[in-house]
């Protein structure tokens, strides 16, 4: 595939596209962003930066040392390993992009979860590769048998797991993580574990790939758990041999993540106890709204993490999920994302983001419910 074809094969994310053309009074339950204020430690750090009467340089390509150390502490890395095992990036999105472009060659295969975050397939195509979906198990949990079978599909360069998962909120057990890590190693595929929702949980703290192995790469960011998507700070942690080429790509893409943002992200990570406690409080508030809302659109069960409700559409609309979501948007004035935005296995579901303002969430659910009741 030529580079030009690779780019024309990309299309705007359906997650964003759903809000384009929405009625002006529409309530947006589409975008997955935390709807509470930027936590105070980040605001204080940004104010300190603004007060400094000194040049604002680019900073080191690999991230400011304070943040590299804070990420290292968060992932329990030994001091000596940090410079090699941490790559600071412009959000986890840039970490994923750099890893894909560094490790995937045209014509190869990338395994992506289905349903899963659409950027994985987009990045695979951008690298000239073929995204091959693998199905998730019950409640969106990682199913190592299905994943391992998918590794036999052909020349798999890279495989992504996402837990807790977007859009389903499904998790991964320690056993499942160990099994997919060992199968990926045996197949020679780079395993990338996207853990951006790890700190957004109502129940027990979800496991990390790093709890079972040092191989592969974990990506994360301050965007969800630390409620700071606009800082655009993320990171990759893992095998230095995998990070080294990805650093070169990230440097070529962005030089480095914004320096002021990195200092704010450092303040957030250093205040994790306080910031993550607030995240859980905010999540509980929103989840109780969803669980006491109209029965027709009530989430079934509690996700392993994330702030999404993954709700079946009514039977009569199951063959046309996108059309149904457009009706809910245009006639009911609520933006939700059709499950098909996340892969073929999303047909018959909608993703409702519960991350925003709780009052708007309650109103949005009330507006949605009648569409579940009558054709
Ligand atoms: C599963 C998943 N991974 C990665 C990202 C990218 O987030 P960021 O670049 O803000 O870290 C998102 C954003 O919604 C996501 O849902």
For residue 301, how many other CB atoms are within 10 A of its CB? 8
Compute CA 372 distance to the chain's CA centroid, rounded to the nearest angstrom.
28
pLDDT reported for residue 19: 83
- Best residue among 160, 167, 196, 268 to mutate for probing ligand 1's pocket (most ligand atoms within 8 Å of CB) is 196
**Domain termination residue (choose one: 271, 306, 331):** 271
Determine, yes or no, domain membership for 375: no
Distance 32 CA to ligand 1 centre (A): 9
**Domain termination residue (choose one: 231, 249, 271):** 271
**Rounded Cα distance, 78 and 223, in Å:** 25
What single-letter DSSP state applies at residue 112? E
**Rounded Cα distance, 98 and 215, in Å:** 18
Confidence class of residue 7 from pLDDT cuts 50, 70 and 90? low
Instruction: Give the 3-state secondary structure of residue 212.
Output: coil
- Residue 265 clears pLDDT 70, i.e. is over it: yes
- Going by C-alpha positions, the residue among 165, 179, 198 that lies closest to residue 346 is 165
How confident is the model over 335-343, as a mean pLDDT?
95
Bigger pLDDT: 37 vs 2 = 37
- Residue 341 clears pLDDT 90, i.e. is over it: yes
Q: How many domains does the chain have?
A: 2
pLDDT reported for residue 5: 67
User: Given the CA of residue 223, which atom of ligand 1 is nearest to it?
Assistant: 10
Distance 162 CA to ligand 1 centre (A): 10
What single-letter DSSP state applies at residue 29? -
User: Given the CA of residue 90, which atom of ligand 1 is nearest to it?
Assistant: 9
Q: 340 and 199, same structural domain? A: no
Is residue 122 in contact with ligand 1, taking CB distance under 6 Å?
no
The two tokens of residue 246 are 């990805």
Average pLDDT, the chain: 94
Convert the pLDDT of each residue in 172-189 to its tens digit.
Answer: 999 999 999 999 999 999
The two tokens of residue 204 are 């027990």
Distance 196 CA to ligand 1 centre (A): 6
Domain of 207 in residue numbering reads as 40-271
Distance 25 CA to ligand 1 centre (A): 27
Number of H helices, E strands in the chain: 14, 12
- Going by C-alpha positions, the residue among 206, 205, 139, 192 that lies closest to residue 167 is 139
Q: 134 and 250, same structural domain? A: yes
Convert the pLDDT of each residue in 20-58 to its tens digit.
Answer: 889 999 999 998 899 999 999 999 999 999 999 999 999
Is residue 32 in contact with ligand 1, taking CB distance under 6 Å?
yes
Is residue 223 in contact with ligand 1, taking CB distance under 6 Å?
yes
Question: Taking the alpha carbons of 273, 278, 284, 287 in that order, is the dihedral positive or negative?
Answer: negative
CATH number at residue 64: 3.40.640.10
- Residue 252 clears pLDDT 80, i.e. is over it: yes
- Best residue among 16, 91, 169 to mutate for probing ligand 1's pocket (most ligand atoms within 8 Å of CB) is 91
Instruction: Give the 3-state secondary structure of residue 134.
Output: strand
| CB-facing half-sphere around the CA of 282: CA atoms within 13 A | 25
4-18, 86-100, 103-117: range with lowest mean pLDDT: 4-18
pLDDT reported for residue 154: 93
Residue by residue, DSSP assigns 325-347 as HHHHHHHH-EE-EEGGGG-GGGT
Question: Taking the alpha carbons of 237, 240, 245, 251 in that order, is the dihedral positive or negative?
Answer: positive
- Residue 1 clears pLDDT 70, i.e. is over it: no
Convert the pLDDT of each residue in 109-166 to its tens digit.
Answer: 999 999 999 999 999 999 999 999 999 999 999 999 999 999 999 999 999 999 999 9
- Going by C-alpha positions, the residue among 227, 6, 28 that lies closest to residue 105 is 6
Q: 129 and 23, same structural domain? A: no
> Is-cis flag, bond preceding 167, omega within 30?
yes
Is residue 162 in contact with ligand 1, taking CB distance under 6 Å?
yes
CA distances from 226 to 67, 195, 221, 282, 307 (A): 14, 13, 8, 12, 13
For residue 285, how many other CB atoms are within 10 A of its CB? 13
**Rounded Cα distance, 233 and 355, in Å:** 19
Q: 173 and 69, same structural domain? A: yes
CATH number at residue 27: 3.90.1150.10
**Rounded Cα distance, 311 and 338, in Å:** 10
**Domain termination residue (choose one: 206, 238, 271):** 271
Is residue 164 in contact with ligand 1, taking CB distance under 6 Å?
no
Q: 182 and 279, same structural domain? A: no
Q: Which residue's C-alpha comes closest to atom 6 of ligand 1?
A: 93
User: Given the CA of residue 93, which atom of ligand 1 is nearest to it?
Assistant: 9
């Amino acid at each position: 595939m030529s580079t030009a074809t690779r780019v024309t094969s990309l299309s705007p994310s359906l997650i964003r596209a759903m809000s384009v053309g929405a009625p002006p009074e529409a309530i947006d339950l589409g975008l997955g962003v935390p709807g509470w204020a930027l936590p105070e430690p980040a605001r204080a750090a940004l104010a300190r930066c603004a007060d400094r009467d000194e040049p604002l340089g680019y900073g080191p390509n690999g991230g400011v040392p304070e943040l590299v150390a804070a990420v290292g502490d968060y992932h329990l890395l030994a001091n000596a390993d940090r410079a090699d095992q941490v790559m600071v990036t412009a959000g986890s999105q840039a970490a994923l992009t750099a890893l894909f472009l560094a490790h995937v060659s045209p014509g190869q295969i990338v395994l992506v979860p289905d349903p899963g975050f659409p950027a994985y397939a987009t990045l695979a195509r951008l690298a000239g590769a073929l995204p091959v979906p693998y199905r998730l198990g019950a409640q969106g949990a990682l199913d190592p048998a299905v994943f391992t079978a998918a590794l036999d599909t052909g020349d798999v360069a890279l495989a992504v797991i996402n837990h807790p998962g977007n859009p389903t909120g499904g998790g991964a057990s320690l056993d499942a993580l160990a099994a997919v890590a060992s199968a990926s190693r045996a197949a020679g595929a780079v395993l990338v574990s996207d853990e951006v929702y790890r700190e957004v949980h109502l129940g027990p703290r979800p496991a990390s790939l790093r709890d079972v192995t040092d191989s592969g790469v974990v990506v994360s960011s301050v965007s969800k758990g630390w409620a700071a998507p606009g800082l655009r700070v993320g990171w990759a942690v893992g095998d230095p041999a995998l990070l080294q080429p990805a650093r070169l790509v990230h440097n070529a893409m962005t030089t480095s993540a914004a320096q002021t943002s990195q200092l704010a992200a450092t303040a957030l990570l250093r205040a994790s106890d306080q910031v993550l406690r607030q995240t859980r409080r905010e999540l509980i508030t929103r989840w109780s709204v969803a669980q006491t809302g109209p029965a027709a659109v009530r989430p079934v069960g509690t996700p392993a993490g994330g702030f999404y409700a993954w709700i079946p559409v009514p039977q009569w609309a199951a063959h046309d999920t996108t059309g149904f979501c457009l009706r809910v948007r245009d006639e009911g004035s609520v933006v939700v994302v059709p499950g098909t935005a996340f892969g073929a296995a999303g047909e018959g579901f909608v993703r409702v983001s519960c991350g925003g303002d709780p009052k708007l969430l309650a109103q949005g659910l009330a507006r949605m419910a009648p569409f579940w009741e009558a054709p």
